[in-house]
Amino acid sequence: MNVLQIDSSSLADASVSRQLTQAIVTALAEAHPDLHVTRLDLVETPPPHLTSDLTQVVKFRNLDNLTSQQREELARTDALVDQFLAADIVVIGAPMYNFSIPTQLKAWIDRVSQAGRTFRYTENGPIGLAGGRKVIIASARGGRYAGMPFEAALDHQEAYLRAILGFWGVTDISIIRAEGVAMGADARAEALDAARRDIPLLVQG
């Protein structure tokens, strides 16, 4: 079983989402002795954001007269897509930054969202091509949003990830959530403890 562990928090060891992704992968390893884990740290090795020049190559596959930089970026993109598609389980560390996701994670999504590989267009609309794998999102939030009246207006983190993964055809999505982690030491500890308690139930289930 292949697992892809993705981290996107810039807080290093202080990151709640990084603690959760590691706890999830550890639990998966205990449940599946044959587990092979590939780690992708989007802060240590961030995919460059697409420019107008790179978009012509990476997204539209205009392969005429490529520069060395364009060839490098095309190879980088193809490697990221290959890595994602090779995984049976993808664990995504996704903290909420300003009601959305870290820019590094968005840059990764922009690379992996490839027509003909993770989705395709048809006369009846887009069809996802990346189903058949499980995605576990380790969600960390400074405030509390789940179940609140304003959640739908402010959650462009979990809702967006569900949307893009669904667009790729991924339907098996679970969330391990720790929220309120910026509301004091006690709230942070309580949120982490609650999230960690959910992990074995998710893995066993």
Give the annotated binding-site residues for FMN: 9, 15-17, 96-99
Report the C-alpha gap between 10 and 95 in whole angstroms: 9
Residue 116 falls in which region: left (phi positive, over 0), alpha (psi -120 to 50) or beta: left
User: Structure tokens of 196?
Assistant: 């960690």
The DSSP element (H or E) to which 91 belongs, if any, is strand 89-95
Residues contributing to the annotated binding site:
9, 15-17, 96-99
- The pairing of beta strand 125-128 with beta strand 119-122: antiparallel
E strand or H helix at 125: strand 125-128
Chain center to CA of 87: 13
Q: What is the CA radius of gyration of the chain?
A: 18
